[in-house]
Amino acid sequence: MSRKDVFGKAIRDVSEGKRAIMTIRRDDGYVHDADAGIYFTTFSEFSEIEKEAMSLAHGLVLDVGCGAGRHALYLQSKGLGIVGIDVSPLTIRVAHKQGLRATVLCAAPWIPFNNESFDTIILMFNNFGICGGYEETTALLVELNRLLRASGIILTSSLHATETQKVEHLRYHEANRKKGLSPGLVTIRVEYNGEEGDWFRLLLASPEEMKSLSEKVGLKLVRTIKQADNASYIGVIGKEKQQV
């Protein structure tokens, strides 16, 4: 776990009524700014694919990388039991302050719950690839499979990274291919208020990659919920022998 918790400081500031603009820096120098206020949006502000995914959640839910708790709080308001986990201590504190009743500080893929504890597991905001490359994402999926009940589902978002025409992204994808890596594997860090977070790897997986990685661990990608106007999508994943 990072002791800097730069992301958590931005989340904390928003919870205190401040505007917090983070810089997301890629290791090739590409940067973009992100308003941390997005982590506090309510259901009416969710994208259409998020709304559809939330309608599929049932039973006891685990939110992996819950952030400030926007999805978890919505599901909690609908009467579902839900646990939010995150690696950021400040973010977990904010989620609890926002009203999320059950929160746990931990770092995926090591999730401290018993086998088959959850009916639904959600990983929003590109959290499918939050652990890193293929090997790390496979380890996460093994853990999620362990935690998921026989009739359960995983709802996980990602970005089909190669669906772009931007030269700076295409160049990065090609450099990854030459290294034998997924074109959508990015190394990034969060910068905020003069501080720099730790570098970490995030896999922006194509639906084909999500399908292949799921099948490696006894899961199956049943369908995808696609965003009409961009490359974002949410995968609906179940147990291999399950009919979802």
**How high is the pLDDT of residue 113?**
98
Residue 33 lies in a domain: yes
Q: Where are the beta strands (DSSP E) in the chain?
A: 21-26, 31-35, 60-64, 81-86, 103-105, 118-123, 148-159, 185-192, 195-196, 200-203, 219-226, 232-239
Residue 225 lies in a domain: yes
Residue 73 lies in a domain: yes
Residue 86 lies in a domain: yes
**Residue 25 contacts residue 191 (beta carbons within 8 Å):** yes
Percent of the chain with pLDDT over 90: 95
Residue 244 lies in a domain: no
Residue 75 reports pLDDT greater than 80? yes
Distances (CA, A) of 159 to 55, 114, 127, 242: 21, 30, 10, 25
Residue 148 lies in a domain: yes
In terms of DSSP bridges, do strands 118-123 and 103-105 run parallel, antiparallel, or are they unpaired? unpaired
Distance CA(204)–CA(210), nearest Å, equals: 10
Residue 1 lies in a domain: no
pLDDT bin (cut points 50, 70, 90) of residue 76 is very high
pTM: 0.96
Residue 48 reports pLDDT greater than 70? yes
Q: Which residue has the tokens 């935690």?
A: 147
**How high is the pLDDT of residue 54?**
98
| Full domain range(s) for residue 134 | 6-239
Distance CA(11)–CA(8), nearest Å, equals: 5
**How high is the pLDDT of residue 1?**
47
Amino acid residing at 130: I
User: What's the whole-number mean pLDDT along residues 135-142?
Assistant: 98
User: What's the whole-number mean pLDDT along residues 136-153?
Assistant: 98
**Residue 121 contacts residue 44 (beta carbons within 8 Å):** no
**How high is the pLDDT of residue 183?**
98
Per-residue model confidence as pLDDT tens digits over 163-221 = 999 999 999 999 999 999 999 999 999 999 999 999 999 999 999 999 999 999 999 99
Q: Who contacts 68 (Cβ-Cβ below 8 Å, separation ≥6)?
A: 11, 14, 15, 39, 40, 91, 94, 95, 98
Residue 38 reports pLDDT greater than 50? yes
Provide Rg for the chain, Cα atoms. 17
pLDDT bin (cut points 50, 70, 90) of residue 242 is low
User: What's the whole-number mean pLDDT along residues 141-152?
Assistant: 98
* CATH assignment at residue 105: 3.40.50.150
Distance CA(133)–CA(200), nearest Å, equals: 10
Q: Which residue has the tokens 């501080």?
A: 195
* Domain total of the chain: 1
Order of strands, sheet of 219-226, starting from the edge strand that comes earlier in the sequence: 103-105, 81-86, 60-64, 118-123, 148-159, 232-239, 219-226
